[in-house]
A and B are shown apart, each in its own frame.
Chain A
Amino acid sequence: MHIPDGFLDPKMSAGMMGAAAVALAYCAARVRQAVTAVMPAAAMAGVNKVLGGGKRVLTGFGEQQIYKMGMVAALVFAAQMFNFPIESGTSGHLIGGVLAAVIVGPFAGAVVISVVLAVQMLFFADGGALALGANIVNMAVIGSLGCYYIYYWLNKALPEWLSIAVAAWCSVFFASLMCSLQIGFSGTIELGAVSSAMLKVHALIGLAEAAITVAFVYLFRALTDGPKKEDIK
């Protein structure tokens, strides 16, 4: 679902770039807050004069958390390379938004997906440079941050695997809906035509997303120590 350059008009690209920047800045701030702590006064005694008070430094837990984000990003990147065939002549691939958000939390999840999208855009010509903002909004902000809360609320009533699956399906569906809106309002093609075609094919891709997400969440937990209470929520 990586939008290439040329599908969106400049106004839409710029607007989405702005929206993505605001959302990402907030997410990055939340992550930074979680992985750093204000240096204790005693340790600051000597350094205080040089650095000024109240400097936040990376905690040991924070460092591990960032490495974990890196691993999730690498996993999402690798998993996105797997194009599974769906109906005639079409393939789909994982977005990984819910996968990342369930493992490292919604804000870190959005950052993780954005990094993956940026790397794909820069090194692999996957997704446009001008369309990066739109892609981040669709897959990181909606697909990861937004759909995390679907998982979060469902998890209170349903078994966890089911909440993950539903949230993962929703992430593909809503991301494709947003993608259709962006292309439709850019005037590239009629909104009705693109949205019905997009939603139909992505409703199917969403099923695979749900299955892969559930499998990978449990795989990741099995290979590490499982979920931690202190994860960035």
Chain B
Amino acid sequence: MKKVFFAVLLVAVAASFFASSHPDGLEKVAENLGFIESAQERSAPLPDYSTPGVPEGGLSTATAGIAGVMITLAVFWLAVYIMKKGNNGMNKMSVFLVALIMLTSSAAFAARPLVTDDYGTLDPGAYEFEAGYNFISPKAGGGDSQGLVCQLKRGFFPGFDLGLELPYNTSAVSGLADAVLHAKLRIKDLSEEEGVSARLDVKLTNGDAATGLGSGFTDYALLLILSKDLAGIRSHFNAGYTVIGDAANSSHDDTFVYGAAFEKEICSGIETAIEYTGSCCLQRGLLNNVQVAGRWQATRSLRLDAGYSIAMSDVSSSIATAGLTLEF
């Protein structure tokens, strides 16, 4: 078997240096008959048998080829390992599979678990569903709470989408809290992923005010969003003003809100983000949070995420969150 192994490596390296760069049979037919455009590009760790970072050519292909040979062999070594270990090996297999999918899926644009919004809007007719579970614990102590937040968004016409956010509280007082309607309009496109948008939020009064799930008043918020690429880091800046409907409540008055988020894809399909969000109102003082988050494009349409938002000021709460985003 050792001899075969070296022969295989030799074949991989030789193929890398002598392979023809012409399109293969199917690609050529697709070119000639004019349906090559319908092919969708995919991203992968070693796209088109080349190693990222190594100058294009035989060497880049050869390293990719050797990596491919090792990965292929590893699949069968792993099969033997699992068959020997029984169920215990099966668990390790699922870890491996998850790692494999994480390595190989394509990247996505900003969304959950960040509070800071990006300037992008959904394409007309496209839907996006977000669901997340939050564990909230106030820094000053007092009752922790948990809740599920779902949001359904739909693009209506180019540059405009509408979302409905439904928070469901699952702690001591459980039930549907006040829903929020988001309407986002793209104002200016600077480049494909850069631009300016405005978002109008309307908080409805469906929640039960008596149990504290709702405020009983309609709030309005207007948010300006700027997305910009800063040295390869996607950055989003939000600034807005919230008009609180409940004028009598002295602990809650009109609030200036702001946030900045920075996202970076660390490897294909995995993004990390850090954001700073805050709000400022006279009665409560400053609320500041810093969130670190990770996002993983599990499949083309499904994204999983988790984040931890650290309370920086005494009146704010730390929030641990995990959730998913589904596009369809």
Contact = CB atoms under 8 A, between A and B. Distances in A.
Interface of A: 1-7, 35-36, 51, 57-58, 62-63, 66-71, 73-75, 77-79, 81-86, 89-93, 115-116, 119-120, 122-126, 128-129, 176, 179, 183, 188-189, 193-194, 197-198, 201-202, 205, 219-220, 223-224
A165 B22 CA distance: 25
B39 A125 contact: no
B73 A70 contact: yes
B46 interface: yes
Contact of A66 (B3, B16, B41, B79): B79
Contacts of B41: 125
A57 B22 CA distance: 47
A54 B138 CA distance: 56
Given A74-B69, A75-B11, A82-B14, 4 more contacts: A71-B4, A71-B8, A82-B19, A128-B42
B40 A201 contact: no
Interface string B132-154: 00000000000000000000000
Nearest to A189: B35
Nearest to A3: B26
Contact of B72 (A57, A73, A126): A73
B28 interface: yes
Nearest to A86: B25
7 contacts: A1-B24, A58-B84, A71-B4, A71-B8, A93-B24, A198-B29, A223-B7
B239 to A, nearest CB: 40
For the residues of B in contact with A, the DSSP-based class is helix
B179 to A, nearest CB: 33
Interface string B4-26: 11011101101110111111111
B48 interface: yes
Contacts of A128: 39-40, 42
B231 interface: no
B35 A123 contact: no
B71 A123 contact: yes
A83 B19 contact: yes
Q: 5 closest Cβ contacts across the A-B interface?
A: A70-B76, A82-B15, A78-B12, A125-B44, A91-B20
Nearest to A75: B8
A67 B78 CA distance: 10
A92 B46 contact: no
B77 A83 contact: no
B98 interface: no
A136 to B, nearest CB: 15
Contact of A129 (B9, B79, B300): B300
Nearest to A92: B25
Given A74-B72, A197-B29, A58 B83 contact: yes
A197 B44 contact: no
A74 B73 contact: yes
Interface residues on B, range: 35 or more
Nearest to B76: A70
A5 B47 CA distance: 15
Contact of A188 (B9, B38, B69, B73): B38
Interface in B194-224: none
A92 B28 CA distance: 10
A91 B40 contact: no
A78 B21 contact: no
Interface string B47-86: 1110000000000010011011101110111011001101
A91 B61 contact: no
Contacts of B67: 123
B32 interface: yes
B43 interface: yes
Contacts of B29: 194, 197-198, 201
Contacts of B11: 75, 78-79, 82
Interface of B: 1, 3-5, 7-9, 11-12, 14-16, 18-26, 28-30, 32-35, 38-49, 61, 64-65, 67-69, 71-73, 75-77, 79-80, 83-84, 86, 100, 103-104, 299-300
Nearest to A36: B83
A84 B24 CA distance: 9
Given A123-B44, A128-B42, A193 B15 contact: no
B1 A71 contact: yes
Contacts of B45: 123
Given A78-B65, A179-B26, A6 B18 contact: no
Given A81-B12, A85-B22, A90-B28, A223 B4 contact: yes
A122 B104 contact: yes
Identify the interface centre among B21, B43, B68: most chain A CB within 10 Å of its CB. B68
B69 A6 contact: no
A58 B80 contact: yes
A220 B3 CA distance: 9
B75 A71 contact: no
Contacts of A123: 44-46, 67-68, 71, 103-104
A78 B76 contact: no
A120 B46 CA distance: 9
